[in-house]
Amino acid sequence: MTKLSNPQETIRVIKKHDFSFQKKFGQNFLIDEHVLERIIDESEITEDDFVLEIGPGIGTLTQYLCEAAREVVTVEIDKNLIPILEETLEKYDNVTVINEDILKVDIAALSEEKNGGKPIKVVANLPYYITTPIIMALFESRVPLESITIMVQKEVAERMQALPGKKDYGALSLAVQYYADARIVANVPPNCFMPRPKVGSAVIRLKKHSEAAVDVNDEKLMFRIIRDSFNQRRKTLVNGLYNASNIGLSKEEIAECINILGEKETVRGEALSLEQFAMLSNIIGEKIKK
């Protein structure tokens, strides 16, 4: 059976099923064998693993996953792709296709059923428009995860692994790094896809932390402080938090908290590390209680 990583085979399948690409689903099918093999290698999939794939398209990456893993469940939102997947994956007996929005799937129940509740590996070629909601839903749902290896817009991947003081550093960087170690493992140019996207892509691996990355008393408060800090990037941290009016403290009290942290009142949110945001959250939390 010719693999879908062969562009001619992808064209043949698309024409046979008279498939039309849907902009609303951000469909760009990967057609580069080397990139596909790199994704499998970097995700460290073994024959003992259960893998959840998000957005299989016509099944290009799914074929590689089926050959590497014990079992694969792949979730595709576009009902028009289901008949195609039935054909392209027919030789594999270790794959289940679910026609659903991944944000509506009970992944915890799926993990329990298919993997006995043990940590799962997630692999995906994510549509650019919904990358962040999917990643955060996976982390925040407390689903047992070992790693997430995903193809995303290069710019988004760079934001995920950015460090304090860098222009790409922001709320997404901190949210991702709170849950996982983020590392870009491959840059992928537009010509590796059909149709070609207008921007470059990257494969990034998010290795879930085995223990909490930082010591924080109130996770929700910390993320509220982070969001408020970056909503107005040009403002100082004091002004950003005060103007957000979610904290419930005076400007002077916020400045005092920042001083206790060991920073000047002129500091901006983009200069603080995840550890510092956790400490600031704990300081503010104690101040709110008084």
Q: Where are the beta strands (DSSP E) in the chain?
A: 29-30, 50-54, 71-76, 95-99, 120-125, 145-153, 180-188, 193-194, 201-208
> 137: closest CA among 171, 168, 176, 173?
176
71: how many CB neighbours lie within 10 A of its CB? 17
- In three-state secondary structure terms, 222 is helix
CA distance 26 to 127: 5
The angle, 0 to 180 degrees and rounded to 10, between the axes of the packed helices 219-231 and 237-244 is 110
Q: What is the pLDDT of residues 246-275, one digit of tens each?
A: 788 899 999 999 999 999 989 999 999 999
Per-residue pLDDT, 1: 64
Domains and CATH numbers, the chain: 7-208 (3.40.50.150), 219-289 (1.10.8.100)
> Looking at the predicted structure, is the pLDDT value of residue 50 above 90?
yes
> Looking at the predicted structure, is the pLDDT value of residue 290 above 90?
no
